């Protein structure tokens, strides 16, 4: 089943917005004045990549990469928790 042209336009528009958001996050990772700013930007960047993968799956009409989304979500959450704990206590464990 092929999606409507309006739906495809909206998906491409959202994809462009996601890439713009990723660029802003990369800017914050490089320029961020504190480590907490960089950690938040990296967390948001992982979520943006998850959104990009989901949008591409919708545009292409397959679900092959949804397993990668689950794995990336789990790794992103664990990484964010580890970075937050390190920034708070100075050690992870």
Q: Which residues contact 25 (CB under 8 A, 6 or more apart)?
A: 41, 42, 44, 45, 48
pLDDT band for position 45 (50/70/90)? very high
24-28, 34-38, 62-66, 83-87: which is most confident = 24-28
Q: Which of 85, 86, 50, 89 is nearest to 66 (CA)?
A: 50
Whole-prediction pTM value?
A: 0.84
**Res 1: pLDDT:** 64
């Amino acid at each position: 089943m092929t999606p409507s042209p309006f739906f495809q336009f909206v998906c491409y528009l959202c994809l462009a917005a996601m890439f713009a958001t990723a660029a802003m996050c990369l800017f914050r990772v490089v320029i961020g004045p504190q480590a907490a700013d960089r950690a938040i930007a990296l967390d948001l960047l992982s979520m943006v990549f998850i959104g990009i993968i989901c949008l591409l799956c919708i545009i292409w009409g397959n679900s092959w990469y949804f397993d990668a989304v689950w794995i990336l979500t789990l790794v992103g959450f664990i990484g964010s928790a580890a970075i937050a704990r390190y920034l708070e206590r100075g050690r992870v464990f």
